[in-house]
């Protein structure tokens, strides 16, 4: 079936090894957040929700602060060394979390953990096109689909392991996944140094701005980045307010909440496979527009939806979220010279998470104030932003003239 065309990228041995390392570390991420939730309840009891909320805010803050630096380092250093170093740093930090006895210690360690994730991620994102060659759209699609699928399955696996091992022991297992990821990347025979004809120079602060300047100066990339703001609004409403709607308004339980969120993740997984199979049928900016429109429209009728329609709406919203995020990552690879991809991916990682940093508290405040009616407000905010982006930033041509990836 054509929808499984993304797996053709695994014929590339270097990408297959990099993909295996990513899969292992993504499973480790699922362990982290389940273990953190259990640890937060152990340390703070009924205040555990506030602890997790603060940890999420620190996570996004670390991404915003350190991603640009991670992108510059990815362009200047051997990416294999950088990714292995970031993985090993995360091994050490995660190994300390089970020893934490105070909430503030958890906050410090989580901030450091995500600072190194912000270093690792732009290097990984820029390495996929480097090793995958012409198959990089399919490679990015497979990477995205795996990320979404493990987002659905990972917490269930982690919960089962927690029942067998105990919550704090999950952190040790999590550390082992990052160690295994580091070993897989270290064993790569491919050259992961970004090719540049320019002579090496000392580090310049202006390099931290260069990724952002390229991102905002290029019309298709700027358009996609602004549509990610639209998607962040609907995504924040889904992640923050779904539990209150399912358990409060509908009066259902944890199992039904899990079904609804699983539908969201399955939609995103299927969407990634569709993009991988039919990537060239539409311009990437069109995929992004479709995604932003779908995920925004999906949350509008939520206040009137019982369980099964809600699952369908969240499936559509998951499709929309992926059709914004995945084509944007591919667009960056299309339109950025190879030697500069790290810093553009780093800038994108920072800006896209800045949108979520704005959207999370807005969704939380509106959900607390308006209850289920807040979904209508969130949808209208998204539609208003979508209209403004269409009027002010839509490129005259779908993707214009892309610069050479090798220039």
In this structure, are 143 and 71 located in the same domain?
yes
Q: In the predicted model, what is the mean pLDDT of residues 261-274?
A: 90
- Does residue 227 share a domain with residue 107? no
The whole-number pLDDT of residue 46 equals: 66
- The per-residue pLDDT for 113 is 94
- 3-class SS string, 18-43: HHHHHHHHHHHHHHHHHHHHHHHHHH
Residue (of 77, 19, 50, 65) closest to 347 by Cα position: 65
Query: DSSP letter string over 174-194?
Result: HHHHHHHHHHHHHT--S--BP
**In 3D, which of 354, 356, 376, 374 has the Cα closest to residue 366?**
374
Q: Would you say 331 and 396 are in contact if contact means Cβ atoms under 8 Å apart?
A: no
Asked whether 363 and 215 are in contact (CB, 8 A), the reply is: no
Alpha-carbon distance of 246 to 314, in angstroms, equals 12
Residue 154 near residue 27, CB atoms below 8 Å: yes
**What is the distance between the alpha carbons of residues 173 and 96, in angstroms, rounded to a whole number?**
13
CB 215 within 8 A of CB 351: yes
Nearest Cα residue to 132 out of 232, 14, 40 = 14
Rounded Cα–Cα distance for residues 97 and 138 (Å): 36
Residue 205 has pLDDT above 80, yes or no: no
Rounded-to-integer distance, Cα 14 and Cα 190, Å: 6
Does 74 share its domain with 145? yes
Query: How confident is the model at residue 213, as a pLDDT?
Result: 93
Q: What pLDDT is recorded for position 197?
A: 46
SS3 content of the chain, % helix, strand, coil (to 5): 85, 0, 15
DSSP, residue by residue, 210-279: HHHHHHHHSHHHHHHHHHHHHHHHHHHHHHHHHHHIIIIIS---HHHHHHHHHHHHHHHHHHHHHHHHHG
CA distance 100 to 175: 15
- Domain assignment present for residue 202? The answer is no
Q: Would you place residue 370 in the very low, low, confident or very high pLDDT band (cuts 50, 70, 90)?
A: confident
pLDDT band at 406 (very low <50, low <70, confident <90, very high): very low
| Among the listed residues 280, 278, 292, 275, the one whose alpha carbon sits nearest the alpha carbon of residue 231 | 292
Q: What is the mean pLDDT of residues 142-171?
A: 82
In a domain, 407, yes or no: no
Answer whether 322's CB lies under 8 Å from 291's CB.
yes
| Residues 231, 157 share a domain | no
Residue 40: partners with Cβ closer than 8 Å, 6 or more residues away? 48, 51, 52, 55, 103, 106
Give domain status of residue 194, yes or no. no
Residues with Cβ within 8 Å of 346's Cβ and at least 6 positions away in sequence, in order, are 67, 68, 69, 70, 71, 72, 74, 122, 211
Domain count, the chain: 2
Of 154-163, 318-327, 373-382, the poorest mean pLDDT is in: 154-163
CA distance 254 to 260: 10
So what's the pLDDT on residue 401? 44
Residue 288: band (very low, low, confident or very high) from pLDDT cuts 50, 70, 90:
very high
Give the tens place of pLDDT for each residue, 316-356: 999 999 999 999 999 998 999 888 889 999 999 999 999 99
Give the pLDDT confidence score for residue 90 in this predicted structure: 94
- Cα–chain center distance at 96: 25
- CATH number for the domain including 140? 1.20.1250.20
Task: Assess whether 281 and 183 both reside in one domain.
Answer: no
Q: Which two tokens stand for residue 195?
A: 């090719």
Burial of 255 (0-12, 13-18, 19+ CB in 10 A): exposed
Same domain, yes or no: 270 and 214 = yes
103-135 exposure pattern, b = at least 16 Cβ within 10 A, e = fewer = beebbebbbbbbbbbbbbbbbbbbbbbbbbeeb
Q: Are 225 and 215 in contact (CB under 8 A)?
A: yes
- Mean pLDDT of the chain, nearest integer: 87
Q: Are residues 64 and 27 in the same domain?
A: yes
CA neighbor of 392 nearest in space, from 229, 212, 211: 229
Q: Is residue 31 part of a domain?
A: yes
Same domain as 158, residue 126: yes
Percent of the chain with pLDDT over 90: 46
Kindly state whether residues 218 and 162 are assigned to the same domain: no
Whole-model pTM: value is 0.87
Q: Name which of 380, 271, 376, 362 is nearest 315 in CA terms.
A: 271
Q: Is residue 284 part of a domain?
A: yes
Please write the tens of the pLDDT for every residue from 72-127: 999 888 899 999 999 999 999 999 998 988 889 999 999 999 999 999 999 999 89
What is the pLDDT, as a whole number, of residue 291?
96
13: containing domain: 1-189
Query: Is 175's pLDDT higher than 70?
Result: yes
Asked if 257 and 336 sit in the same domain, the reply is yes
pLDDT surpassing 50 at residue 199: no
Same structural domain, 149 and 217: no
Q: Which of 129, 163, 189 is where one domain is finished?
A: 189
Q: Is the residue at 197 inside a domain?
A: no
Q: Is 402 a residue whose pLDDT tops 60?
A: no
Q: What is the pLDDT of residue 110?
A: 92
**Residues 64 and 170 both lie in one domain:** yes
Q: What percent of the chain has a predicted confidence (pLDDT) above 70?
A: 93
pLDDT, residue 209, reads: 86
């Amino acid at each position: 079936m054509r929808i499984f065309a993304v797996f053709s990228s695994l014929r590339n041995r270097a990408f297959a090894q990099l993909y295996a390392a990513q899969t292992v570390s993504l499973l480790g991420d699922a362990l982290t957040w389940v273990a953190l939730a259990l640890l937060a309840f152990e340390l703070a009891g009924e205040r555990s929700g506030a602890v997790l909320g603060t940890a999420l805010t620190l996570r996004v803050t670390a991404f915003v602060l350190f991603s640009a630096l991670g992108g510059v380092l990815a362009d200047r250093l051997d990416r294999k060394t950088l990714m292995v170093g970031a993985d090993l740093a995360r091994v050490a930090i995660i190994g300390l979390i089970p020893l934490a006895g105070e909430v503030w210690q958890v906050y410090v360690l989580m901030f450091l953990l995500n600072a190194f994730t912000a270093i690792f991620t732009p290097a990984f994102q820029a390495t996929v096109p480097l090793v995958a060659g012409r198959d990089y759209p399919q490679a990015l699609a497979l990477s995205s689909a795996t990320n979404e699928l493990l987002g659905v399955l990972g917490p269930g696996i982690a919960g089962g392991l927690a029942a067998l091992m105990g919550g704090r022991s999950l952190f040790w297992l999590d550390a082992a996944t990052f160690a295994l990821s580091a070993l897989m990347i270290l064993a790569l025979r491919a050259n992961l140094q970004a090719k540049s004809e320019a002579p090496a120079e000392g580090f310049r602060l202006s390099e931290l701005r260069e990724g952002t300047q390229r991102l905002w100066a290029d019309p298709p990339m700027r358009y996609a980045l602004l549509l990610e703001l639209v998607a962040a609004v609907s995504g924040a409403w889904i992640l923050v307010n779904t539990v209150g709607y399912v358990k409060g308004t509908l009066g259902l339980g944890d199992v039904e909440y899990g079904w609804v969120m699983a539908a969201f993740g399955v939609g995103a997984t299927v969407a990634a496979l569709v993009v991988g199979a039919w990537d060239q049928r539409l311009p990437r900016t069109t995929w992004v527009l479709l995604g932003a429109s779908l995920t925004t429209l999906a949350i509008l009728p939520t206040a009137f939806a019982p369980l099964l329609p809600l699952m369908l709406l969240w499936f559509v919203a998951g499709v929309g979220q992926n059709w914004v995020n995945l084509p944007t990552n591919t667009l960056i690879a299309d339109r950025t010279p190879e030697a500069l991809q790290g810093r553009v991916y780093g800038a994108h990682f920072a800006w896209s998470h800045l949108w979520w940093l704005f959207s999370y508290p807005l969704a939380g405040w509106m959900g607390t104030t308006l209850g289920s009616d807040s979904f209508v407000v969130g949808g209208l905010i998204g539609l208003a932003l979508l209209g403004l982006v269409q009027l002010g930033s839509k490129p005259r041509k779908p993707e214009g003239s892309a610069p050479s990836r090798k220039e």
